[in-house]
Amino acid sequence: MKIDKLVAHIPARAGSKRVRSKNLRLMDGKPMIAYAIECAKACPEIETVYVNTDSPELMQLAAEYGVEVFERDPALASDTASGDDFTQDIMTRLGLDTLLMISPVCPLVTPEDVSRAVAAFKANEQADTLITCTETTMQTAKEGAFVNIDPDGPLAPSQDNPAIQVCNWAVTIWNAEVFLGNYARTRGGYCGTNRILFPIDPLHAVKVSYEEDFRMAEALIAHRKNAVETGEAEFWIPRNDNK
């Protein structure tokens, strides 16, 4: 897909129901949204970065981190407004041909993840949407019915099962023309028409929706910051006491 100008936005409304003020909450000493901002700024493919918000505090934070502010209409920051609504708004008001979203609730996503996603999107001439995901071949069920295994036969090794994709939306890229056309017809454009489900490292895809997610993400960030390269994996070896 050809991209004339790649604009990124980081959507972050003032309210948060499940984790209070999560975008401003410190995570290993830094506001959670700062991780998405720094990730976007480190991507050479992105020309302009916006924090899309109705919050004066988040607007000030965006200015301090050196990115643009897209001031969201408060009506699009309510509990009833959808992601489709505020995405349509920024695409229309800025006249974009392509929009990339980095989710502020996925603070472990890396600039390399974003760059690989952009390259995959550009390489696919038919794609109008890219959504990051994780993949699993573990036995998966929906509403009590198995999805990727036959429950009436022998249980196959998990690596032999069909892969299931779990969307995390850490990075999403849309062709604006297709998005806006879908939105005009159905008020939904998020999933696109010809989509790429793009796997990323599960450790980069951790999504903060609940308090326990916040604690896990913070622990992973601290570990990544303090990790020491250890080289090859090591294994336990039985002792030979010669006794």
Domains and CATH numbers, the chain: 7-134+168-226 (3.90.550.10)
pLDDT confidence bin for 26, thresholds 50/70/90: very high
190 burial type by CB count under 10 A (0-12 exposed, 13-18 middle, 19+ buried): buried
Q: Quick one: CA dihedral 86, 89, 93, 98, positive or negative?
A: positive
Which residue's structure tokens are 């929009």?
99
% pLDDT > 90, the chain: 81
Average pLDDT value for the chain: 92
Query: Cβ(91)–Cβ(60) under 8 Å?
Result: no
The predicted pLDDT at position 15 comes to 64
Crossing angle, helix 83-94 and helix 176-186, to 10 degrees? 130
The predicted pLDDT at position 5 comes to 87
Q: CA-to-CA distance for 193 and 1, rounded, in angstroms?
A: 13
Q: 230 pLDDT exceeds 60?
A: no
The predicted pLDDT at position 224 comes to 87
Residue 58 Cα distances to 30, 42, 78, 144, 216, angstroms: 13, 20, 16, 42, 24
pLDDT confidence bin for 14, thresholds 50/70/90: confident
